[in-house]
Amino acid sequence: MPNENTNVQSGYFTDERIKGDLDYRQAQIIAQTMLDDGLISVAEFNKLTAINRETFSPLFAEIMPEIT
């Protein structure tokens, strides 16, 4: 028998949100590689991160810090 907490959690972790999180992480790996290879600046990396967060809506995006 599901309890109230189970219903809240199962509504939060939908297939769409999990896919968005995975897509965000892949995009961030690419952006991080570009930063590490000197292809983009930290400012550009932060812009890409903001775009990726908006596009993919990763889980817990609101608490993720920027690189300074």
Residue ranges per domain, the chain? 14-59
Which residue reads 């608490």 in tokens?
63
pTM of the model: 0.68
- The DSSP result for the chain, as a single string, is ---HHHHHHHHHS-HHHHHHHHHHHHHHHHHHHHHHTTSS-HHHHHHHHHHHHHHH--TTGGGPPPP-
pLDDT tens, residue by residue, 2-12: 555 554 556 77
Higher pLDDT, 7 or 32: 32
